[in-house]
Every structure is written in structure tokens, then in C-alpha cells.
Amino acid sequence: MADKTEKSNKLKARLPRGLADRGPAEIAATREMIEKIRAVYELYGFEPVETPAIEYTDALGKFLPDQDRPNEGVFSFQDDDEQWLSLRYDLTAPLARYVAENFDTLPKPYRSYRVGNVFRNEKPGPGRFRQFMQFDADTVGSISPAADAEMCMMMADTMEALGISRGSYLVKISNRKVLDGVLESIGLGGAENEAQRLTILRALDKVDRLGIDGVRSLLGKGRVDESSDFTRGAELSPAEIEKIAEFMIHGNPEARRKKVQELISASALGPDQIRSLLDPEQSYREQQKLNLAEPQIKELLRVLALFPNPQSIESAARGENRLDYLFLKVHAQAKEFELGISNKLTLQELRKACPNVRTFQDGVDELEQIVNVVEACGYRSGRIVVDPSVVRGLEYYTGPVFEVELTFSTDSAAGSPRFGSVGGGGRYDGLVSRFRGEPVPATGFSIGVSRLLAALQHLGKVETKAEAGPVVVTVFDKDRIADYQQMVASLRNAGIRAELYLGSGKFGPQMKYADRRNAPCVVIQGSDEKAKGEVTIKDLIVGAELAKLEKGREEHLQKQAEAQSSVPEAQLVEAVRAVLARHKLPPR
């Protein structure tokens, strides 16, 4: 029902929860960012395609963000033919429908990109919206791990094209089969446990937002959030929860660093002792000296085995390619050390976790093939890193999954959180197959446009102020509207953005209007200018600068001359172009 005030029949203007308006500055910044992303996608050979915002609900399938029926996770309605329709919740499910419908005419593999708004019927909150924009790229029809590797490399290149420097982002890769193998090892394999596995995956996908303790709650009986709403958990046993939590902790590089730092601090290890523990010939002798319980010793050795030999920061190589590798800092006896991350060593150790589970080993094999491709192309652990803790919450992922994380802090305070994920994706070999009854492999990646834009604004990589507006031609004599409109037409014909003031205000309100429009200058022709065959050009940018200067000074006098000038009417276009050039503004 419309919301009306008690004393009036006027509607109350209000924005629904979970939605946001966008102004000119944000739209311009988004456009600039999207064009840079588009350039990278097209460099990789991807072509654009658009699909509508509304699809048949059954085309979206049971792969919804929250539940598997209309209006749970998606916005749905019934058409006059009683068929259910839904607003798309992502850009991937509509692509699957499009490819299936046009399968015979599309080249295979089919490489495409799409940008558009998606809609989620979820509880809104800070940073969680019901409508937001995504920018996707997908390859449909290739089973090759090189297609997954290419997605990872393209995401790394996209971040750098946007000005996010190497060392400020990481493309993390994992494989759903690896986590499925872990779940299989605790007896949760098979179709009969599919629903519980999905609940677990969705819980693990929230680790960045809720932390490991919040995830433990969701793996158990459930969790009550800040607004007292209860989310039912996966109801695993304490032993099952700890096995999964331990896997998540040891899989994530930063969690790995925290754990090894904790163990090094507890044992008072020094740099030489750390090196000795990593040396097979000295490791056993060094273990006998540790002031730790046997379980802690095993834990320390297990975590250290995931790192190449540490080196002190003072002696570390500082070559140009240093940022190609991921280094994590730890402290040992007041000395700062770096522990390097090696993707191949991570995979080597990962294999030992579930040696007898075929699903798990297949996932590691696929990750190894991806790593071989990206490292052959020069993308090492400082850009693309194996992180088995990465989980994508949607059910349709079947193999490799990826995520781009921005690693810089959200503010300058010590210990402030990282900016976090700005995109993700993976392999979804079953989504198109639902329409065709035959295998159709696919892999893709989705960027969260609004979140990435916020990161670029935080870094100062995009302009946050509104673009310059149009040149405004003012109206002094309403009987001469045709003359003023002719001036506007001459500017437009020269490729200069211009508009005629169409309000009813006198000169003061017209100038306020031009200021609010962010106009670089205004064109004025009153009766005196008309009699002389001239127009006056008032530079509003210089005028704003002039107001800040002390009167009478040389700079003030110079600016005063630039702020306003009269020229023959025939030279209107050239005079306006000079103002735009003075401020390095494009004509459009």
C-alpha cells in the first residue's frame, strides 16, 4: 500500500531497502571502469552478448542463492499463462539458456562477456543490496584446464589494467572436488547428502564475512546474527566441524601464516632453528630441542612444510619480479622473516590430506594443470595463488573455482581488515547440459562492479567528482529564444555539449543553475552585446578560483581577465573551445 502522511494525500518519496540511486559522478566512474575491463576481455578474444533481466524460473534452475523455490532468493511472479518468471539473480544462468537455445549457430568454444544488473531477494544489510551490477566473462564448450587458467590470468590482467598494482591483489584458485573429497572423507559423499553438502559450502563461503568461529556455528546447530535472526546450521558433529575448520585454516595462506607465527612464538624459535627444521638432515635433531608438546610439534612441521625456506627481509632479493611471488611476514626472536608461497609445494602437501579419496585427488590434478599453464605464462604466486579454502556458494560449480581478493587494508589503522573479494567464478559443467541432455563444459568469472568501484575510489584510481557539464547558453530576452537556440545548435554542430536554459528564472537563478550543472562556462548575450554583435563567455571554473584569491594581486588580475571575455558572435565556437582547452576538458 502506498505510504501517505496523515495530514496530506501526498505520497511519501522513499527508496526501498536494499536498493540505491546513482548520480552522475558514480555513473561516470562506473563507465570509465567498465571500459577498461571491456578492453581486457576483448584483448582475450571475448565478444559481447546481452540477455534480458527476466527469465523463466525453471531456466534459472535450483541454483538459487538461498533456497530452491520462487521468491526465496529471487524475485518471481506468475505470467498470465501461469508460468513462473524471475528476475535474474546472476548473469550465468541466463547465458546457459542463451547458449542452449542458440547452440547450433554459436562457435564452440563460445567466448562472451556481459554486463548488467542482477537481483537478489535476500535480506539487505551493509554492503548487501537487492540490485547490483556484475561484469562476467565465460568460455562455454571447452573442457581444457587452460580455459580455467585463462580466466585467472585475465582477472590478474584486469586488476592491473584498472591500476591495482601487483602485490595489492591476489587471484585465488581452488577446486570444488578438493572440498567434496574432504566431505567424502567424513562420510558426506553421495546424492543422499547433497543438501547437507550445499549447506556446508554456503557456510564456508561466508568465512571472510563471519570468520572461522562464525563458520563453525553454521557447520553446527546454527547461528544468530546481529538482528537476532537464526540461520540453521549443517548439524555436523564437533569432530567433523574441526576437520573441516582445520582444512580451511591450513588451506588459506594468511591463516597459515597466523598459525606458524603462533607456534614459532610459543616455542621461542630463532631464524636458524626454523631453517634447521626445514632441512631433512637436521630436522629430527632440532625437534628434540623444541619446548612444545608433541601435537604442537607435528602441527608446526606440517605448517612449515607448506613454505619454501624462509629468509630474512634484509637479505631477500629485491629484483623487479619480486612482486610476482607471494611472501608472508613472520617474526622470530625480534627478526622479521618472509615465508614464500609456492603453488607447486602447496599442491604437493595438499595431496597428503586425503590420499585415498579419488574425488580429492582429481581436484588436485586439475589444480596442478592450471598452475602449470599460468606459471608457464609468468603468473606466479604473487598474482595467482592456490588457496584450497576458497569456496563459491552456488551449487552449479563442479570443478575449479576462483576469487579475486584485494589485499590492501580498508584504512591506515594497524590491523585493519583487507578490502576483500571483488569477484569470483569457476567451472560449471552441468548448467548448459540441463537444456541439452549432453555434456557442455563451461567456465567463467564475475566481477562485482559496485564493490570494485569502491576499491578503486579508495585507491584514488577513478575520478570521484562529477564530469564537467554542458556549456549553458543563458536567456536575457525571451522574445529571442530562437536566436539563443541557434547559438546552442552551433556549439552542438561543433561537437560541444551545450544546452539552452529553459527555466523561468532571471540572470541570478540562471547562474546558480549553470553552477549546479557543473558547466565549465556560460554564454551571455543581452541587448548591449546584441547591439555590438558580440557574446560574452563567462568561465565558471576560473571564476571559482578567482573567489579564493586576494584582490589586486597580479594572479588575481590575470584570472579576472580569463574569467570573462567578449568576442564577436561569429567566434563563439572558437572562444568556447579555448575555455575547454584551458581546463583540458573534452568537448563532449
* Whole-number Å distance between alpha carbons of 457 and 478: 44
Residue 587 lies in a domain: no
What angle is formed at CA 18 by the lines to CA 14 and CA 22, rounded to 5 degrees? 70
In the chain, the N- to C-terminal Cα span, in Å, equals 44
Question: Which alpha helices (DSSP H) does 85-189 contain, by range?
Answer: 92-101, 145-161, 176-185
Residue 557 has a pLDDT of: 64
**pLDDT surpasses 50 at 317:** no
Quote the number of domains for the chain: 1
**Higher pLDDT among residues 117 and 229, named by residue:** 117
State pLDDT tens for residues 95-129. 999 999 999 999 999 999 999 999 998 888 777 78
**Contact assessment for residue 423 and residue 132, using Cβ atoms and an 8 Å cutoff:** no
Residue 475 lies in a domain: yes
Residue 516 lies in a domain: yes
Q: What is the CATH number of the domain that holds 548?
A: 3.40.50.800
Residue 109 lies in a domain: no
State pLDDT tens for residues 248-303. 766 677 777 777 787 777 777 766 676 677 666 666 677 777 767 777 777 777 66
Residue 481 lies in a domain: yes
Residue 476 lies in a domain: yes
Please report, for residues 27, 177, 386, 541, the alpha-carbon distance to residue 185 in angstroms, rounded to integers and kept in the order given.
Answer: 49, 12, 21, 68
* Whole-number Å distance between alpha carbons of 19 and 525: 44
Residue 554 has a pLDDT of: 62
What's the burial of 49, exposed, middle or buried (CB within 10 Å: 0-12/13-18/19+)?
A: middle
Residue 285 lies in a domain: no
Band of residue 308 on the pLDDT scale cut at 50, 70, 90:
low
Task: Give strand pairing partners of 545.
Answer: none
**pLDDT surpasses 70 at 341:** yes
Most confident of the following: 162-171, 261-270, 315-324, 390-399: 162-171
Report the share of the chain in percent with pLDDT over 70: 86
Residue type, 130: R
Q: Which domain holds residue 499?
A: 471-582
The secondary structure element, H or E, covering residue 507 is helix 507-516
Band of residue 318 on the pLDDT scale cut at 50, 70, 90:
very low
Residue 386 lies in a domain: no
Residue 550 has a pLDDT of: 60
State pLDDT tens for residues 403-421. 999 988 766 555 556 788 8
**Residue 56, number of CB atoms within 10 A of its CB:** 12
Cell of 495: 561537437
